[in-house]
Amino acid sequence: MSHLWALDRGAQLLPDNSVRFTLWAPRLRLPRLRVLSGPAQGDHALAPIEGERDVYSATVPNVGVDADYAFVTDDGRTLPDPVSRWQPEGVHAPSRVVDPAAFSWTDDGWRGVMMDELVIYEIHVGTFTPAGTFEAIIPRLTELKSLGVTAIELMPIAQFPGTRNWGYDGVAIYAAQNSYGGPSALKALVDAAHATGLGVLLDVVYNHIGPEGNYLEAFGPYFTDKYTTPWGRALNYDDMDSDEVRRFAIDNALYWVTEFHVDGLRLDAVHGIFDFSARHLIEELTTAVHTQGDRLGRSVVVIAESDLNDPRLLRSADENGLGLDGQWSDDFHHAVHALLTGDRNGYYADFGPASAIADALREPFVLAGRYSTYRRRKHGAASTGIPRRRFVVAIQNHDQVGNRAIGDRLSVLVSPAQLRLAAALMILSPYVPLLFMGEEYGETNPFQYFINHGDEHLVAAVRDGRLREFESFGWGKEVPDAQNDGTFQRSKLDWSKAEREDHRALLTLYRDLLTLRREESMLRPDGSTIDVSNGDPGWIALVREPADLFNRYHAWEYEALLTLFNCSDQSVDVPVPGSSTRAWSLRLSTDAPGYGGNGDVASSIDSSVPTDGPKRLIGADRIRGVRLPPWSAAVFAAMS
């Protein structure tokens, strides 16, 4: 095996119980280490490392695991380690030495999850369970697996101030949040997920660092004023002394993959990562992660959030791209949300009719060079030639729910039939679906924005900023106080709802849709060729036939699949493409009684869908059209 990367900044426990402390500190003249507990307690000088610019180190005997330490600045302040593995008392307190080899992993046979296998379930650790910890997630992994999920995605878990936060205010980016249980508990969650057959993706933030507890600037030029971001100062990835800042981010990505066995990273808002170097940070980071994954014998994916609609993120370096494995495609969400809710404010101004959903099924970027009314300019470029497995779509996620003024979910904005239609549009799309925790049973509790800052000036700034942010959406001034604990408590899932009849019907639909997607290879991304047609007053027809590549390896039970959507409030006669040469039988209808519907599919077709799963129905008809009830979807199969 070629050289395997290992973290060598921060505190490294050595076999003889000594610890090697390493610090990049170009802004300190005489950096010192202060050990705060154990036999080595006291101050220790740090010496420059030969051949490395402004990097200092000291190996201190008899420190051992669980010792607390800090670095001392020239003006006498004691500050936590920029590469701290654990902040047990929070962002302002000392760091703690961790033994990364102490955890007993049981996932030797785990090989990761490929993009075309992904069904992602996004989790905020603090609100997913009443306890709000890593370990409290473990008992629910089996039911997520049963649902049809293949990977959980954790919203950022890097140490943030206080005990409640979305995670995007993290400041100690190597330290797993103490109120969630710290590093050992995170490892236990990942190990348990792998034992259950689930991958774990981690949301990481490299476009900014949170304000409270951010002491990086005392050590070196981590930030630049060349660029601005909406969330804080831009990180210095291309100016003077930026090499170590780039290393800070890339090492962090490798750290989660290596020491915590995570299967992928979701890079937050990469349009806020500014780098005009010859080799972009994202490309360098992604290459490093892929290389480390290969050495570890695991598939590791890197997925970006971006609002640029720029296919270069996904193209290889040979094609002048950045080589990411995937990216979120928000246009799909916007198209579905705008149609179902009637929202036209803000970025929803570019969407609304059912034709926009049809466009999103054909091409993940609806705005692929089109004029954007919201931006008042042309936006995006086409993704021609990029496999559809590299696009992640959602009908709800933390941003699209939590960044509404009161954090209201789709379940309280639309009717049950519309909610079922939205689920079908996402899961039966040709992309990778992402579910937001609780959506599968129609959670109605909001997901609101919450913080627990200790700086009252910062709290006031957050309150004012939220009000200004919502002005363009016309949501008024009734914005919950992010600092109030009640805002956090209201945002917790109520799992008891999943046992109620109306919620259980939706849960059954989600489970059956995901089962159908798993059983029918043509419903997987890139498992088929796709032809999309649409017409008034809002119908969409999607025909799938086996892709040539897949024909070589699969014995197909069906020669084609047909998915019909009625995205309108009236019954619609949908023409069936190719109906004269194929006999179709119904596989699933979202209007089936078992899902809470009326079963009003056209009488010429056997419309009784079993509630115990999307089994193939007996009988087939050569049909020219199907009458679909309002806000519904149906899947048909043509026998081969």
What is the secondary structure of 434-445 as a DSSP string?
EEETTGGGT--S
- pLDDT one-digit tens code per residue, 4-57: 999 999 999 999 999 999 999 999 999 999 999 999 999 999 999 999 999 999
Neighbours of 504 (CB within 10 A): 16
Q: What pLDDT sits at residue 354?
A: 98
Neighbours of 296 (CB within 10 A): 17
Span 82-102, average pLDDT: 98
- List, in sequence order, every beta strand (DSSP E) within 217-322: 223-228, 233-235, 264-267, 301-304
Give me the catalytic one of 268, 359, 443, 591: 268
Q: Cis link prior to 537 (omega < 30° from 0)?
A: yes
| Segments of the chain assigned to CATH 3.20.20.80 | 115-471
Q: What is the mean pLDDT of the chain?
A: 93
Q: Is the pLDDT of residue 614 over 60?
A: no
Q: Is the pLDDT of residue 1 over 60?
A: no
Nearest C-alpha neighbor of 163 from the set 84, 98, 260, 91: 91
Looking at the DSSP assignment, which residues form a beta bridge with residue 368?
Answer: none
Contact indicator for 177, 159 with CB cutoff of 8 Å: yes
Catalytic status, residue 238:
no
Indicate the pLDDT class of residue 474, thresholds 50, 70 and 90: low
Measure CA 290 to chain center.
18
Q: Is the pLDDT of residue 602 over 80?
A: no
Nearest C-alpha neighbor of 323 from the set 358, 385, 280, 263: 280
What DSSP state is assigned to residue 474?
T
Q: Is the pLDDT of residue 610 over 50?
A: no
Half-sphere exposure of residue 536: CA atoms within 13 angstroms, side-chain side:
0
- pLDDT one-digit tens code per residue, 49-68: 999 999 999 999 999 999 99
Measure CA 235 to chain center.
22
Fold of 504-639: Immunoglobulin-like (2.60.40)
Tokens standing for 419?
A: 């909610």
Q: Is the pLDDT of residue 132 over 80?
A: yes
Nearest C-alpha neighbor of 539 from the set 582, 513, 575: 575
| Segments of the chain assigned to CATH 2.60.40.10 | 10-96
Contact indicator for 209, 173 with CB cutoff of 8 Å: yes
Tokens standing for 20?
A: 């090697």
Residue carrying structure tokens 């077709």: 605
Stated pTM of the model: 0.96
Report the run of H or E that residue 550 belongs to, with start and end: helix 548-551
- List, in sequence order, every beta strand (DSSP E) within 104-244: 120-123, 151-154, 158-159, 172-176, 199-204, 223-228, 233-235
Span 622-631, average pLDDT: 89
Q: Is the pLDDT of residue 609 over 80?
A: no
Contact indicator for 598, 628 with CB cutoff of 8 Å: no
Give me the catalytic one of 305, 520, 545, 591: 305
Tokens standing for 161?
A: 């101030």
Percent of the chain whose predicted confidence (pLDDT) is above 90: 86
What DSSP state is assigned to residue 390?
G
Contact indicator for 621, 593 with CB cutoff of 8 Å: no
Find all residues with CB under 8 Å of 78, minimum gap 6, and list them.
34, 70, 71, 72, 94
Residue carrying structure tokens 């931006």: 375
| Pairwise CA distance, residues 422 & 428, whole Å | 10
Catalytic status, residue 526:
no
Backbone angles phi, psi at 238, to 5 degrees: -145, 10
Q: What pLDDT sits at residue 636?
A: 94
Nearest C-alpha neighbor of 208 from the set 275, 269, 277, 122: 269
Torsional class of 564: left (φ above 0), alpha (ψ -120 to 50), beta (otherwise)? beta
Span 393-417, average pLDDT: 96
Q: What pLDDT sits at residue 2?
A: 59
| Pairwise CA distance, residues 152 & 436, whole Å | 10
- In this structure, the strands spanning 55-60 and 120-123 are unpaired
- In this structure, the strands spanning 326-328 and 391-393 are parallel
Q: What pLDDT sits at residue 607?
A: 39
| Segments of the chain assigned to CATH 2.60.40.1180 | 504-639
| Pairwise CA distance, residues 216 & 245, whole Å | 10
For the domain spanning 10-96, the CATH number is: 2.60.40.10
Contact indicator for 129, 120 with CB cutoff of 8 Å: no
Top pLDDT among 620 and 248 is at 248
What DSSP state is assigned to residue 423?
H
The yes/no answer on whether domain 115-471 falls in CATH 3.90.1640.10 is no
What DSSP state is assigned to residue 552?
T
Residue type for 256, please? W
Q: What pLDDT sits at residue 469?
A: 74
Burial label, 624 (beta-carbon count in 10 A; 0-12, 13-18, 19+): exposed
Percentages helix, strand, coil for the chain (3-state, rounded to 5) are 30, 20, 50
- pLDDT one-digit tens code per residue, 277-323: 999 999 999 999 999 999 999 999 999 999 999 999 999 999 999 99
Q: Is the pLDDT of residue 548 over 80?
A: no
Tokens standing for 114?
A: 């490929």
Span 188-200, average pLDDT: 98
